[in-house]
A and B are shown apart, each in its own frame.
Chain A
Amino acid sequence: MSAPIEDPPLTNLRDRLAAIATLDAAALEAEDIAILGRKQGELTGRLKSLAALSIEEKRAQGAELNALKVQFEAAIGVRRVELADAARQREGAGVDLTMPGREAWRGTMHPVTVVIDEIVEIFGALGFSVALGPEVESEENNFGALNFAPDHPAMDMHDTLYLDPQGAVPAEGQRLLLRTHTSPVQVRVMREGPPPYRVVIPGTVYRNDAFDPSHAPAFAQIEGLAVDEGITFVDLKATLAHFAERFFGRGTTVRFRPSFFPFTEPSAEMDVACQLCAGQGCAACKGTGWMEILGCGMVHENVLRNCAVDPERWTGFAFGMGPQRIAMLRHGVPDIRHLYAGDMRFLQQFPSVGS
C-alpha cells in the first residue's frame, strides 16, 4: 500500500467542504453548482476524468473522490436546512404563539352508544356476534316463550305497553306489545336453527314507567346468549368476570348473587365493586361497596324446550344489562333524563374516543 498522493486540488476541496457551514444562502447555492453541478462542477469533472485513468489510478483516486462527493452533498443539505430554519424564525418573530388554534366542531357519539359499542366489542372478541330483532313483539315471544307464567307476580317487573289492535282481534299470545326486554331476540335466534349460539343483542326496550331520575319509558338493553354442549355456570362466571375486567379495568372484582328471572335458572345478579369508592361503601352504592351491573343465569330448560332445543344435550347462559345505567355511573350523570335530551352542552361533554 502506498501512502495517499498529496494532491493540492484535493486539499483545496477539503477546505471548501469545511467552509460550507459558514456560507449564506446565495453562496451556498453557487458553491453547490461550482462543486457538484452537472456541467461545470469541479468534483463532477474530476469524477468524469477518472474514466481516462488506469485501473490502479482509478482505484487510488476514485474512492477518495466519491467520499468527498458524499460529504459535500451532506454538508450542503445540512446547511440548507439550517438556513431555512433561520429564515422561518426571522419571519415568525413577533407572532404570538399563544393565540388560539383554528378549532373545528367535534362530532360526538352518545355516551350510551359508546357503552354499547364497547360491550359488543368485548363480547365480539369472545366469539359473540350481533343479533337484532324487532321492537314490536308478540306476547308469546316477549313472555310465553321465555317461561313467564301468565298472571304471575313476575309480570309486575315488566309493566308493558301494548299496541292498539285497531279493531283486529289477536289470537292467544299474539297481542302486540313493545318488547320489555331484548330477550325475545334470544327466542328468534334459537328458532332460526340449531345450536351452538353465541350472540349479543343490543336494542331499545320499553316499560310503562314515567320518567324520573332513574327510570325512563324506553331505554337500551344489551343481552347475551351462549348455548353449546358443555356450557356450565362456571363458564357463565368466567365469561362475565372477564367482561367486567375488560370493561371496568384490570383487577375489577365481581360477585354473583342468587336472583330470579323467569327465563334463567339458576339466576344471578353480578355486582361490580363500586367504581366510586373502590368497595368501601358510599352514597352511590348505598353503602354496600357493590354496584348492580347485570342480571344473568343459565338459560331455563323451558326456554330451550320452547325453542326446540334439547336441554339434556345443550346448556347455556344468558345475561343482560342496561347501558344507560352504566353510562350514568361512568360519567357521573345524576339524572337519566339527560340521556334523552339533545342539549349540545351535555352532548359535547363526551367526545368520542375510538370507534
Chain B
Amino acid sequence: MNASRAWLEAFLRQPLDAEDVAQRLAMLGAPVDAIEPVGADLSAFVVATVTKVRAHPDADKLRVTTVDDGSGSTWSVVCGAPNVVAGGRYPFARIGTTMPGGMVIERRKLRGEVSEGMLCSARELGLGEEHDGLLTLETDAPDGTPVVTLLGAGDQRLVVDVTPNRPDLFGHKGIARELAASLNIPFRLPEIPGLAATDVPPPERAGDSGSTGGITVTIADRQGCPRFLAGVVRNVKIGPTPDWLRNRLAAVGVRSINNVVDVTNYVMFELNQPMHAYDADALRGAAVGVRAAGSGEVLVTLDGSSRTIPEGALVIVDGAGVIGVAGVMGGRDSEVTGATTNVLLECAAFDPSRVRAARRALGMSTDASQRFERGTDRWGAVDAFRRAMQLLASVTAGTIDLPTVDCFPAPSHPPRIFLRPSRVRQVLGLDLDWREIERCLVAIGATVVSKPDDARIAVDVPGWRPDLVAEIDLIEEVARIHGYEAIPATVGAVRPVFRPDDTGWAAARAARRLLVAAGLSEVLTLPMVAAGDPAAPVLLNPLSNDHRCLRAALVPALLTEVERNWAVHTGDVRLFEVGTVFSVSDQPGAAPRETQHAAFTITGRRQPAHWNDDKPRAWDRWDAKELVRQLVDLAHPGAELQVEGESWAVHAPDGRRIGHAGPVTADSPPWADPVFAGEVELGPMTTAHAQFAPLTMFPAVTRDLTLRVPAGRPVADISTLLVQRGTRHDLRAVHVVDEYRDPAVGADARSVTVRLVFRNDQRTLTDTEVDQATGRLRTSLERELDVSLRSS
C-alpha cells in the first residue's frame, strides 16, 4: 500500500516526519519498506511565464512564444497547445531536461522557428491523461520554482508492507487510526476544498432489490454480495480533475484518468472501499445487479481484453449481460467516457474468497481485488458511498438523483467478542489494568460495552477489522497497542521435557563429522532435479524442466558440482552432502519414501603437494571403498560391501540396496583425474555403546606369507578362511599388505602377501607355537583353496 504523508497529515491535522511514521508503523506491525519523494523525476521542471505569443509564420497550429523561466534570460519556444496565452504560467522543460519518457529536450528548429525548451501538458509530466493543452499552474510562486514543490508540495510516499490480516491498512484512514493511537491524538476525515458543507442524505434501505434514478438494482447472490449501494449523478461534466485530487492520487502512484474515476480511486485509497462508476445511459434495460456467472460468459474489460469469465464468479450485470467482474474489473462498454452525462456509482461488499478465486482464475490483480479479497467493511460502506457521491457531484458539477439505494438483504452488525482479563494475563504474562485494556481496544475503533468489574469485557469490534473474530484476536490487539516493547523479557523457570533427539539427527551429524575429518567439503544442492530416475517422484507444477522431480540419489547432483569445479579449472574436488532423498511409493497416491543419505565425490590429489615429498597420489577406488565402509559402520554395523561389477554395493538384511561405492563417469576435461563416488542410506544411529576390550600385556607375533593366488580367486576367500581356521590358534588379525603381479608369468598371475597377527591374552606365544599354527594354516589354504606359498 502506497500512503501519502500529506494525506495522513490531513487526517491527523499535524505535520508528520516520514521516518517517525515509518518507525511507529513498524512497531505496530506494518513496516514501511521505502520512503520515496513524490515527483522526484519532475525536479527539473520549473514554473515559467509566457510573456508573448505570436503566430508561427509557417504553421497554422503552432505558436511561437517567449518564455521567462526566472533565469534572467527569455526563451523562444514553439508550442502547439491551443490554450497557451500571454501571461499564462505553465511547467517548462529547459534545454537538457530529461522527460519522464526518456526524451531529452534540445534546441531545435520547428518549421524554421527556433525552439529553446518545451512547455508541458499534464501527460507530458506523467501526471495524468490530459493532453488537450498545457497544464495551467495557478500559483504565485516565482518563475524558476521547481514544479514539484507545487504539486504535492514535497510530499513523500510511504510504501507500507501490509500483512494479509489487515485490510483496513489499505486506506489512509486505517493508517491514520494506527498513528493516532501511537501518538495519542485524535484523527478525522480530511476536509476537501470546495465541498458543500451539507451531507448527502443517507440512501434508502432495500432488500434483494431496489431502485434509484430509474435504474433497478438486484442482488441475485446474497452470499457473494451481502450489500450493494448505488446512486446516480446527473448532468456531469467529465473533465480534468482538480489539482488537490490529482496530487493525492499522484502521491500514491495512481494516474489521473478523469474526474469521475479519480473520485472512486480517491475514496478507495482513503477509506479502503473500492467502487465503480458506470455510464448510466450505457446500462441496457436500466438495470444493474450481481449474480454468479454462467458458463462461457465473456466480457471485454477496461483494459480492452476479452476475457471468458470462470463459471460461478461474481459478476455485475445490466439488463442484457455481464458488465463487470465483481471486485476485480469493470467492462469497457459501460465505462465513463468524455461523452458521459449521467453516472451510476456502485459501492458494494463482496465475499472475499469469491473475489480471490475469480481474480486467480483470470490471472489479474487490481487495486480493487487486492482490497476485496482481504475483506472490506460492509457496514462502513454507507459512509464511503456518501462521501463519494458528494465528491462526484462536486467535481463534476452534477446533481445527485435522490434517493440513492442501499440493498442490504440481511442486515447484520459486526461481531461482539468477550475478553477475559485473566486470559490476557495467561497469554501475555502481563497484569494489565482494565483501563489500559479498554484504551487499547478503543484505539483500534472497538467499542467496550462492559463495566470495569465484569469478569469478561464485551467488545464490539469495528467493521473494518474482519480479522477480529475471537478473544485471542483482541489479546493480540491489546499487546500491539500496549506495545510489544513494553512487555518484559524475564526468564522464568523451565520444566525439563524428556524427549530424545530424532535418531536421524545424530546419524546425519556423525556422517558429516566423518566426511569433514576425511578432508571433504559439505555442499547443499537443490533437492529438485531433472527427470531421469524412475524412482524420483514427479512434481505437478515444477519451476522448470530442470526441477521436475525430487532427487532419488545425491551422487548425480554432486557430479554436476564436480563439473562446475572443472569448468573453473579446479581439479581437486572433494564434495559431500547429507540430505533427504525420495523414491515413489508402491501404493499410488501415497507419500514417497524419504530417507537420509550421505554421499561423496572425490577427484584430484589425495593430499596437497609438499616440496619435500614426491608428487602426491590421486584419489582412487580404495579411498572410496573405505569412506563407504566407514559410513556403513555408522548406520548399518555388520553390513558388508559386495563386489558388483566395477563397484561395490551394500545391502541391508532385507535385501534393500543401501549403499555403493566406486568409479563414476563424468563429463571430464582431458586433464582431470578420475572421479570416485559413494552413497549410503543413513538409518537411525545405533544406540549401543562400544564395549571395552582388555589391553593385553603380551606381545603379538606376526608372520608374513606371500601366496600365489590362482586366477579368479578373490583374496577375501583367503582372509575369511584364515580367520575361520586361525582363531583357535590365537590368530587375531589378517592384513593384506602387498599384491604383486608378474607379467612374465601371466596376466592373471598374482601373489599376495598377508600378515598374520597372533596373540594370546594370557601369555607370550613362543616362536614354535606360532610356526606350527602358520604351518597348519598354509596346509588349509593349499587343501581348501589351492593357494600355496610363492616359491622364491
Contact = CB atoms under 8 A, between A and B. Distances in A.
Interface of A: 99-100, 102-110, 112-113, 117, 126-127, 129-132, 134-138, 150-154, 156-157, 161-170, 176, 178, 196-199, 202, 204, 206, 208-210, 216-218, 220, 228, 230, 232-235, 237-239, 241-242, 255-260, 265-268, 286, 288, 298, 300-301, 315, 339-345, 347-348, 352, 355
Given A163-B537, A266-B480, A153 B543 contact: no
Interface size class of B (residues with CB under 8 A): 35 or more
Interface string B541-558: 111100100100000001
Given A105-B574, A258-B28, A136 B582 contact: yes
Given A210-B543, A232-B427, A255-B485, A131 B502 contact: yes
A13 to B, nearest CB: 40
10 contacts: A107-B517, A110-B524, A129-B502, A152-B164, A163-B537, A233-B428, A235-B491, A260-B163, A266-B480, A301-B472
Nearest to A128: B497
Contact of B521 (A107, A178, A233, A315): A107
Q: Which of A131, A232, A342 has the most CB of B within 10 A?
A: A342
Nearest to A201: B502
Contacts of A242: 491
Contact of B523 (A130, A156, A167, A341): A341
A107 B572 CA distance: 13
Interface string B411-435: 0000000000000011111100000
Given A110-B522, A136-B592, A196-B495, A265 B473 contact: yes
Contacts of A210: 543-544
A64 B607 CA distance: 60
Given A165-B540, A255-B485, A218 B607 contact: no
Q: Which of B518, B522, B591 has the most CB of A within 10 A?
A: B522
Interface in B581-637: 582, 584, 588-589, 591-592, 594, 607-608, 610-613
Contact of B541 (A161, A198, A237): A161
A153 B374 contact: yes
B554 to A, nearest CB: 11
Contact of B589 (A170, A216, A258): A170
B501 A105 contact: no
B31 interface: yes
A113 B522 contact: yes
Nearest to B429: A232
B175 to A, nearest CB: 14
A105 to B, nearest CB: 3
Contact of A342 (B525, B527, B538, B594): B525
B199 to A, nearest CB: 34
A33 B477 CA distance: 93
A99 B611 contact: yes
Given A163-B540, A237-B488, 6 more contacts: A136-B550, A153-B373, A220-B524, A234-B490, A341-B561, A344-B565
A134 B568 CA distance: 36
Interface stretch (B292-300, B508-516, B762-770): B508-516
A157 B522 contact: no
Rank and list the top 4 A-B pairs by shortest CB-CB distance, nearest first.
A232-B429, A342-B561, A168-B589, A258-B29
Given A235-B429, A235-B492, A162 B484 contact: no
Contacts of B539: 161-164, 178
B521 A347 contact: yes
Contacts of A165: 540, 589
Given A109-B512, A197-B497, A204-B580, A256 B502 contact: no
A344 B574 CA distance: 8
A153 B356 contact: yes
Contacts of A197: 497, 499
Given A153-B164, A344-B572, A228 B495 contact: yes
Given A110-B524, A237-B488, A237-B489, A164 B540 contact: yes
B114 interface: no
Contact of A127 (B496, B541, B564): B496
Contact of A204 (B527, B538, B607): B527
A355 B479 CA distance: 40
B579 A204 contact: yes
B528 A168 contact: no
Contacts of B473: 265
Nearest to A339: B524
Contact of A112 (B33, B488, B524): B524
A257 B497 contact: no
Q: Which of B501, B561, B611 has the most CB of A within 10 A?
A: B501
A127 B497 contact: yes
A258 B163 CA distance: 10
Contact of A340 (B165, B525, B582, B610): B525
Contacts of B366: none
Contact of B516 (A256, A301, A315, A352): A352
Interface in B656-705: none
Nearest to A112: B524
Contact of B502 (A132, A151, A241, A348): A132
A218 B525 CA distance: 9
A238 B541 contact: no
Nearest to B591: A136
A208 B541 CA distance: 8
A238 B490 contact: yes
B164 A157 contact: yes
A330 B558 CA distance: 26
A91 to B, nearest CB: 16
A241 B489 CA distance: 8
A238 B489 CA distance: 4
A169 B589 CA distance: 7
A127 B492 CA distance: 13
Nearest to B357: A151
Contacts of B476: 258, 265-267
B511 to A, nearest CB: 11
A173 B605 CA distance: 52
B575 A129 contact: no
Contacts of A339: 524
Contacts of A161: 539-543
A236 to B, nearest CB: 9
B357 A344 contact: no
Contact of A258 (B475, B484, B611): B484
B565 A343 contact: yes
A288 B34 CA distance: 10
Contacts of A112: 524
Nearest to B165: A260
Contacts of B538: 163-164, 166
A103 B29 contact: no
B494 interface: yes
Given A237-B489, A301-B472, A345-B570, A105 B607 contact: yes
Contacts of B525: 340, 342
Interface in B242-271: none
B519 interface: yes
Given A102-B613, A165-B589, A266-B475, A233 B427 contact: yes
